[in-house]
Structure 1
């Protein structure tokens, strides 16, 4: 009885001193889907995704108003630099933020990221020249390091049977943010022109025509920052030791330092911790990150090209859409994506597996992309219907690919390395995504100057290049390159 009482006291102290252990204890008793954590994850990821793409519908006009482009065809080059500056900043700081998350917790990094959105997204909307726009976007990317920690967070706070739903929530909120962001930018940019009865040209929003969408996103980010005060921490803290609750019995009873049956390390006084396996030598992790980077490059280039293509004149192969028209298309797309990811993706992943879902989605994306130049030949109701259907399908497939690769990355490492692993993924992905808008803008500008070329004239070349990148990504999902842990 004395031994049992002593053990119960030790366990009580163990859980009381570690927020992560309390989360694990709650996981052990939960039966249904943890909707509170689901909502937390949703709004945090949405908060960081909205500012990334909200500028795309109005970036063409913003660069034009800066008067830095010498010709109309050169606007795409400068638009690419502004779009890439965010990703470049994030690439330089993602690994340090991941290490901070592993040392001090997921929660502080998440809160700093949402505060960065409040400050620098607001300043971007007030940009008066090209270099101010580039600088504020770069700083926003540098200080917004929460995406890696939030991916680690969902794998730690959800039970095993709900992890696909948790990671799907991240990628869904991310995809929705990358769609709602441009929709907000399309509806709210240049309000004095769109809604003259509400906003006059002499008003503050008339003088800063691209501030309103940024302000709305920043207000939302401020609300999310306040809500994060109640965000539960999942990192295990035991006086500097990282002992997971699954190992609590072994830690209380054993006097040696050996991996338990789950492969986690128990640290004792007699011997130090077993050295952690190098993340760079973890091929299941690194292979999934590399494939993720290829698809991320494609995804970011496509998002910039789609908006530029939609608003460009018909004479250059575009649709002559307004920012409001682009916003309407992306709103429909966002709704379709939300329905699929929350209702169907967890079952599809359970049936086929993460790798197969990513592979099939990549293959199906190729004919969808190839149809976009043909869609530009339509008009009226036929154009609206076909474009909306193609946009929904393309984005559902893209987010399904990313979700599967998220799952593979977080399953490839243990908790004490998950923040750093996601930091590496964010760094490499951000470098590729930084190349996406810059390369996409350059290819788009080049393609618009070759309307009479014999081989793949105009925008046909743009979508052909996107399909080549997609095909490379699909090939890399096969063994021996991509391996699941």
Structure 2
């Protein structure tokens, strides 16, 4: 059945709005779920684990790495360089995502993914071998470039799955991202500077004494090497060489199938048809919202290790953590991320819906962020055991709020597409906005941290975290624009 109404001519670029399925279309028993191709999915899961590992592995030791470079005169300047190195990863992804996707359409998915794994492996080793700031900048930029193949991995996943097993495949990617968020900080925190942290095993190693941050990078490279070896023997090409008409038809069916699995409901539009060659105007607020959320999250992530490394016994006090303790706390956050996706988010999504969940979860996240710097006053008064109790509790609420906000916003972005044919462009634009925000955010955060701590006042950390709350507050206000664009009814919070 054609999607073009009879009232329009065949040469018009239009398509009917996507309507919720009716009972008439839901006939027959549901098809049995097709088993996922294990070897193909193993490689794709490794690729999806590599990105969060490379994104988070440096958080526990980047402060000490920059300090060892000797380019910063004080702690405030270290914050600026930390922001610069952190932002390069996402900036490089912005530059490489579209060209890599185009290349995969030309030469195939398999060679692009295998080259990405090889580049990931070598770039990670180069970062671990960095002994000066320029080397760290170049290697981190290369890491971001080769991690621009996540979109290709998702494309291949859509090509090796069908309607019955595609939701399970993409849900597995979410688990992989959470796992990478747990493993990355754990590797970076426990294996950096092994001569000092693990003297019984590496105390006599000249290699790791000269390159104290090489070992965690070697471990992350081994993950990429595993994917490369398995992929070389078992990853099959999924890009079909067919006529243009067949490709268009297959893409249309795949787009409809994927959309029906991700879209719960879309409000019917008053017009009988929508032009498919334009970007939907009502999607712009959702795209902007995801960008603001990404900026809020990345600045918060940047400030946390800086707050952790501030000494306890000074005016501008912090948690006084070493690399191991930073990695431990970040791994705890990773565990809460996993639990949130399984238990917390499904409950609030089912209870409140997508847009309401954004507001509720964002409120919890911003409240936890505001309370975080106040925990620095617990250590000198009540001791470390009490401090860790409050820290774990804060991280639980902070993580649940942040992850639920992100997942709900992803659904809002999907719901802002008016037709199936617009969904790809809407998600692509939203992903681009998030990458730009993750590029600019660390630079803003590094600038703020440098300036407020140059003032030498005790309340500097509170001003820095206030920036996170301000950006998040803009997102909260922006949800009213999203609500108006989507035509949702008013809600209470």
Which bin holds the TM-score, normalised by the shorter protein?
Answer: 0.7 to 0.9
Match of 1:64 among 63, 67, 73: 67
* Structure 1 residues 171 and 397: alpha-carbon distance in aligned structure 2, compared to 1, 3 A threshold: farther
Aligned position for 2:405: 401
CA distance in 1 between counterparts of 2:421 and 2:100 reads: 14
Shift of 1:289: 2.8
* Cα deviations by residue, 1:316-366 (Å, 9 ceiling, x for unpaired): 221110110111112222222213313553454345433333332112111
Q: Is the 8 A contact 1:370 1:467 kept in 2?
A: yes
Shift of 1:232: 6.3
* Cα deviations by residue, 1:135-177 (Å, 9 ceiling, x for unpaired): 1111221232123344555566666687666555444433442
CA distance in 2 between counterparts of 1:168 and 1:396 reads: 18
Q: Is the 8 A contact 1:117 1:218 kept in 2?
A: yes
CA distance in 2 between counterparts of 1:160 and 1:482 reads: 30
| Residues 134-145 of structure 1: pairs in structure 2 closer than 5 A | 134-145=137-148
* Structure 1 residues 246 and 73: alpha-carbon distance in aligned structure 2, compared to 1, 3 A threshold: closer
Number of residue equivalences: 432
Shift of 1:422: 4.9
Q: Is the 8 A contact 1:168 1:403 kept in 2?
A: no
* Structure 1 residues 349 and 237: alpha-carbon distance in aligned structure 2, compared to 1, 3 A threshold: farther
* Structure 1 residues 122 and 73: alpha-carbon distance in aligned structure 2, compared to 1, 3 A threshold: same
Shift of 1:396: 2.7
* Mapped pair 1:448 → 2:453: yes
* Structure 1 residues 295 and 94: alpha-carbon distance in aligned structure 2, compared to 1, 3 A threshold: same
| Residues 176-255 of structure 1: pairs in structure 2 closer than 5 A | 176-200=179-203, 202-229=205-232, 230-231=234-235, 238-241=242-245, 242-245=247-250
> TM-score if structure 1 supplies the norm length?
0.78
Aligned position for 1:289: 287
Q: Helix, strand or coil for the counterpart of 1:371?
A: helix
Gaps of 5+ in 1: 1-27, 249-258, 264-274
Shift of 1:57: 1.4
Q: Is the 8 A contact 2:109 2:238 kept in 1?
A: yes
Shift of 1:452: 3.0
CA RMSD of aligned residues (A): 3.5
Gaps of 5+ in 2: 1-29, 261-273, 489-493
* Cα deviations by residue, 1:410-464 (Å, 9 ceiling, x for unpaired): 56388887766655444332221112222222222222233437xxx22111111
Aligned position for 1:306: 304
* Structure 1 residues 360 and 312: alpha-carbon distance in aligned structure 2, compared to 1, 3 A threshold: same
> TM-score if structure 2 supplies the norm length?
0.77
Shift of 1:122: 1.2
Shift of 1:482: 5.6
CA distance in 2 between counterparts of 1:191 and 1:301 reads: 29
Q: Is the 8 A contact 2:117 2:225 kept in 1?
A: yes
| Residues 20-99 of structure 1: pairs in structure 2 closer than 5 A | 29-31=31-33, 34=36, 36=38, 42-99=45-102
* Structure 1 residues 158 and 117: alpha-carbon distance in aligned structure 2, compared to 1, 3 A threshold: same
Match of 1:382 among 381, 386, 402: 386
* Structure 1 residues 365 and 347: alpha-carbon distance in aligned structure 2, compared to 1, 3 A threshold: closer
Aligned position for 1:112: 115
| Residues 155-194 of structure 1: pairs in structure 2 closer than 5 A | 167-194=170-197
* Structure 1 residues 103 and 202: alpha-carbon distance in aligned structure 2, compared to 1, 3 A threshold: closer
* Structure 1 residues 47 and 112: alpha-carbon distance in aligned structure 2, compared to 1, 3 A threshold: same
